[in-house]
C-alpha cells in the first residue's frame, strides 16, 4: 500500500529583459531567435523551458494519480462484488 500526500504550492514571478536584445521574448520567439549566442537570452529561454518542464511533470503526475485511483476503485468494486 502506498500512501502519498502531496501539497504543492509554487508561486514565482520573474520579469527579465535582455539588455542587448530588449524585444526578445522566449515564450513567443523560442530558442531560434537568440542572436549570437547571447547569454542573457539563453538564460531567459532556459528559465522558460524549465517552467514548461515542471508543468509537464505535474500534469504527468496528475494523470498517474488519476489512473491509479481508477484502478484502485475498480479493484475494490471487483473485490466486494
In a domain? residue 17: no
Statement: residue 81 has pLDDT above 80: no
pLDDT, one tens digit per residue, over 1-54 is 677 787 888 888 888 899 999 999 999 999 999 999 999 999 999 999 999 999
Domain count, the chain: 1
Residue 54 lies in a domain: yes
- CA-to-CA separations, 7 to 10, 34, 39, 58, 61, in angstroms, rounded: 10, 37, 35, 12, 13
Least confident segment among 30-34, 58-62, 76-80: 76-80
User: Is residue 2 situated within a structural domain?
Assistant: no
List the domain range (segments joined by +) for residue 43: 26-80
Q: What is the pTM of this model?
A: 0.73
Please give the DSSP secondary-structure letter assigned to residue 34: -
Q: Which of 46, 5, 53, 11 is nearest to 26 (CA)?
A: 46
pLDDT for position 28: 94
Q: By three-state DSSP, how is residue 25 classified?
A: coil
Amino acid at each position: 500500500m502506498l500512501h502519498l500526500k502531496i501539497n504543492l504550492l509554487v508561486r514565482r514571478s520573474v520579469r527579465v529583459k535582455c539588455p542587448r536584445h530588449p524585444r526578445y521574448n522566449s515564450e513567443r520567439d523560442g530558442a531560434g531567435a537568440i542572436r549570437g549566442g547571447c547569454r542573457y537570452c539563453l538564460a531567459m529561454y532556459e528559465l522558460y523551458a524549465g517552467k514548461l518542464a515542471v508543468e509537464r511533470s505535474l500534469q504527468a503526475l496528475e494523470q498517474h494519480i488519476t489512473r491509479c485511483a481508477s484502478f484502485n476503485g475498480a479493484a475494490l468494486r471487483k473485490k466486494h462484488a
